[in-house]
Structure 1
Amino acid sequence: MEFSDRVKRRMKKLGITAVELAETVGVSKGAVTHWTNGTNEAGGKRLVALAEALQCTALWLSSGMGDEEIGGDESPTDSPSERDYALIPQYSARGSSGKGYLNDHVEIKGGLAFKRDWLKGMSLREENLRVMYNHGDSNWPTLSDEEVLLVDVSKIEPVNGKMYAMYDPDNEVIIKRLIRDMSGGWIIRSDNQDKTRYPDMPISDDGMRGVEIIGRVVWRGGGI
Structure 2
Amino acid sequence: MNRKEIGQRLREAREKVGLSRDHVIALPEIEMSRSTLQQWEIGQTEPSLEKLAKLAQLYKVSPQWLIFGEGDSTAQAPAPATNPSLEAPAKHVIFNEEFVLIPMYDIEVSAGNGLFSQGVTEPIKHVAYRRDWLKSKNLDPYNLAVVCNCGDSMYPTIPNGSCMLVNLAKNQAHDGNIYVLRLDDRIYVKRTQWIPTGGLRIISDNTIYEPFDLDKAYLASGQFEVCGEVIEISHIIH
TM-score tier by shorter-chain length is 0.5 to 0.7
Shift of 1:166: 1.4
Structure 1 residues 205 and 86: alpha-carbon distance in aligned structure 2, compared to 1, 3 A threshold: same
Rg larger in structure: 2
Secondary structure, aligned partner of 2:118: coil
Secondary structure, aligned partner of 2:156: coil
Secondary structure, aligned partner of 2:124: strand
Summarize deviations over 1:29-78 as a string: whole Å, max 9, x none: xxxxxxxxxxxxxx855457xxxxxxxxx45xxxxxxxxxxxxxxxxxxx
Distance in 1, Cα, partners of 2:92 & 2:111: 31
Match of 1:213 in 2: 226
Match of 2:161 in 1: 146
Shift of 1:184: 4.1
In structure 1, what residue type is equivalent to 2:157? T
Deviant stretches of 4+, over 4 Å: none
- TM-score w.r.t. length of structure 1: 0.60
Q: Which aligned pairs between 1:124-163 and structure 2 lie closer than 5 A?
A: 124-163=139-178
Shift of 1:186: 1.7
Structure 1 residues 135 and 85: alpha-carbon distance in aligned structure 2, compared to 1, 3 A threshold: same
Summarize deviations over 1:151-192 as a string: whole Å, max 9, x none: 1111111111111111122x1111111012255422011110
Structure 1 residues 172 and 112: alpha-carbon distance in aligned structure 2, compared to 1, 3 A threshold: same
Secondary structure, aligned partner of 2:104: strand
Secondary structure, aligned partner of 1:212: strand
Structure 1 residues 47 and 156: alpha-carbon distance in aligned structure 2, compared to 1, 3 A threshold: closer
In structure 1, what residue type is equivalent to 2:193? I
- 1:202 matched to 2:217? The reply is no
In structure 1, what residue type is equivalent to 2:155? W
- TM-score w.r.t. length of structure 2: 0.57
Distance in 1, Cα, partners of 2:141 & 2:100: 7
- 1:174 matched to 2:188? The reply is yes
Match of 2:83 in 1: none
In structure 2, runs of 5+ residues without a counterpart are 1-87
Contact 2:90 2:143 in 1 (8 A): no
Match of 1:189 in 2: 203
Match of 2:133 in 1: 118
Structure 1 residues 153 and 44: alpha-carbon distance in aligned structure 2, compared to 1, 3 A threshold: closer
In structure 2, what residue type is equivalent to 1:95? V
Give the number of equivalent residue pairs. 147
Match of 2:113 in 1: 99
Contact 1:161 1:180 in 2 (8 A): no
Secondary structure, aligned partner of 1:93: strand
Distance in 1, Cα, partners of 2:168 & 2:92: 18
In structure 1, what residue type is equivalent to 2:151? G
Distance in 2, Cα, partners of 1:138 & 1:103: 19
Contact 1:134 1:149 in 2 (8 A): yes
Secondary structure, aligned partner of 1:108: coil
Give the alignment's Cα RMSD to 1 decimal.
1.9
Match of 2:98 in 1: 84
Distance in 2, Cα, partners of 1:141 & 1:179: 19
In structure 2, what residue type is equivalent to 1:118? W
Distance in 1, Cα, partners of 2:162 & 2:187: 15
